[in-house]
Structure 1
Amino acid sequence: MEKNKIETGFSSDAKKEPRRVVFVAKKTSAKVVGDPGPQLMTYPHLLIREAIAFQLLVIVMVLVALFWDAPLEQLANPLLTPNPAKAPWYFLGLQELLHFFPPFVAGILIPTLVVIALVVIPYFNVNVEGKAIWSRPAQNLRIVLVTVFLLLAFLAVFYAWTIFLPTALVAALLLFSYTARAGEKGSFQVLARKPVSWWVMTWFIAVALCLTVVGTFF
């Protein structure tokens, strides 16, 4: 009598069971029970909506261009250099960093670290759902307080108030969410359920926007 062959495989639901091992006998397959939820075809449902949104955006941009001129300056004069010289808008954030940090730090070190982070982060075993930042209140509160204090002190030493302000605002929201974590409803209680990655990205976007706005209008 031939023995049953045992094969190994992984669960098809990697979100709920990322490391579950399933033993399948013979040629049968594991039955995955779950509601796939409502489904729609890409065409025509998604593509038609995207086409409509694209046309509306084009119409709005054309109307704006008809009624308002682009804020262009006079023709460039090679004998007259504007003071201060402004980089393109997508580099204004980096240019603003030069007011606070040495050129090597602002122009090379910080952009390099950001690029490396964007490359490396996808290779980490990141939880899809993410645990709330206050899942361990006492321990995480100490870590947050120490991190925020050191970061704000570092920015204050370099007089980097453009970065200090959004950092302080995000830190204040984070601490307010700690006090409201036990509530049932409320905006701060919703923030208390956000993971660490959400807070880091919020801080990064706030700093980038603040640097760009200050570099554009001031």
Structure 2
Amino acid sequence: MTEQQEYQVVQAHGDVELREYAPCVVADVVVSGSAEEAASAAFRPLFEYISGANGGAESLAMTAPVIQQPASERLAMTAPVIQEAVGPGEWTVSFVLPAGRSLSEYPPPVNPRVSLRAVPGETAAALRWSGRWTSANIARRTEELRQTMADSGWQESGAPRWARFDPPWKPPFARRNEIVIPVRGPVEGSRA
């Protein structure tokens, strides 16, 4: 079974889970295009990195999910992070790297388009869904998650990210997709 990003479910409200994510390390690529095109454009350089196109010529296991978000909206950090907007239609696509290593223990990428970064643990709300990866589905599911968060008293604290767990050849009805939005913690006293 493919290793997946570690988290614990803290609360549930219908189809939405409040999760505590463990810290992780990701490999990122910024690409241009539509939401639908971004993952395809980023896949090759990211896959080449985990396949040995790195300073240690080391192969790394493929993990899940593949994470995508607008490039101007990075994952929330625990300290201030300053970032210039890259522009509309640009996306950061990330592979979560296998757990058990710190950022400095991963081999450096050979491709200058690939960068590595440590992502701190966080509390986030997540909605799992199946189907095609389209802008319309992403927008609809993001709004559904935001509405459940508002109904539950969970306060959004960062930009949404979208996660894919399955290869593109898997039938859409069987694919696992998620919308994940960071939540300001603690959430004790929320209505879930």
Q: TM-score, normalised by structure 1?
A: 0.20
Question: Which has more radius of gyration?
Answer: 1
- Greater per-residue strand proportion: 2
Which protein has greater RCO, CA pairs closer than 8 Å, 6+ apart?
A: 2
Q: TM-score, normalised by structure 2?
A: 0.22
- Greater per-residue helix proportion: 1
